[in-house]
Amino acid sequence: MNHIMSNEPSRDHAPTESADDAYGRIARAISYIVDNKLDQPELDDVAAHIGISPHHLHRTFSDWAGISPKKFLKALTLADAKARLAESESVLGAALDVGLSGPGRLHDLFVTIDAVTPGEFKSRGAGLEFRYGFHPSPFGDCLIVASPRGLSGLSFVTDGRDAALVEQKSGWENARWAEDAAATMDWAQRIFPAKGLGPAPLNVLLRGTPFRVKVWQALLAVPPGRVVSYSTLASGIGRPEAPRAVAGAIAANLIGYVIPCHRVIRETGAVAGYRWGVNRKFAILGLEAALGGD
C-alpha cells in the first residue's frame, strides 16, 4: 500500500450527517487505519473499507478533525507515541512540582477541583442531587452528569443509554437523579466548544478514594497532545511501586475526556485499555496529537 494522499477532494455535496453518524464513520476509518498502520494505507483503501468515496471520506474527516487523514495517520504511529512519551516525562514532572491543590490552569481547560467528603462517599450519595443529559460530541453520543458543585460524570455511550446511566449511578444509588438535558447542555458546550472557540472554565466534583483523587489530579497536569506511561504517572505522585494501583484508578475514572485518562499509554508506546473503547481512545489521542496539543 502507498501512503495516504493529501490532495484536496472535489466539491461533492454529501448529505449532512449528525455528529454521531459522522463519528461512526470516523471510528470505522480509525479502526482500519489502526489495524493497518504499518502498511500506511492510502485514502482510497480506507474509503473502500467503510463504503464511501475518497472525496467524501476526506471531507468528513477534515470536517470532524480539522486535519487530513494523512496527518492523523502520522499521529498514530508507534514512533510518534514513543517520542511523545519521552517528552512528557519532564512536562509532567514540572507540572506536578507546581502543585495540584486548588484552582489552576490544568491541561487545556481551567479546571477547579472539588471532592466529595468521606461521609458522602460512604453513604453512596445520600443528600446529593445529580442532573443528567445525553448530548452529541466529536467522539460520539455522551452522557453528562452535573451537580450544584460541578461536573460529576461523562460517559461515552457504547452499549446504549441505559447502560451508560447505570455506569454513572454506580456507587451513588442513594443520590437523587433527574434527567435534564437543558441543564447539562451548558456543560456539553463548555467541554466540546464549537470550532474557533477557546476552552471555558470547568469545575469538577471528584468521587473516589484519596489515592484515586490524587491520580486524577495528576492526569489533569498532562497537556493535550502529550501522553504518559502508568509507571511515570505513579512516580509523579510519589508512588513508584504502584503502577497497577494507578491503572486501577484510571480504569475507575467516570469523568471521561475532562479527566484525561486517555492520555496514559504503555511504556512501549502501545495504546490499550479504555473504558469506552480503544478506537475512541485512538481517536482522541490522534486528534490531540495531530492538532499539536498546547
Annotated catalytic residues are 261
- CA 197 from centroid of its chain's CA atoms: 18
Dig out the grid coordinates for 196 from the structure.
Answer: 474557533
Q: In a 3-state reduction of DSSP, which class is residue 276?
A: coil
C-alpha cell at 95: 507540572
Per DSSP, 260 falls in state -
Residue 211 identity: F
**Quick check: 204 and 259 in contact, CB under 8 A?**
yes
Q: Cα separation of 53 and 110, whole Å?
A: 40
Q: Is 191 helix (H, G, I), strand (E, B) or coil?
A: helix
Bridge pairing between strands 109-115 and 129-135: unpaired
What does the DSSP 8-state code read for residue 68? -
Contacts of 239 (CB under 8 A, 6+ apart): 211, 245, 246
Look at strands 109-115 and 104-106 and give their pairing. Answer: antiparallel
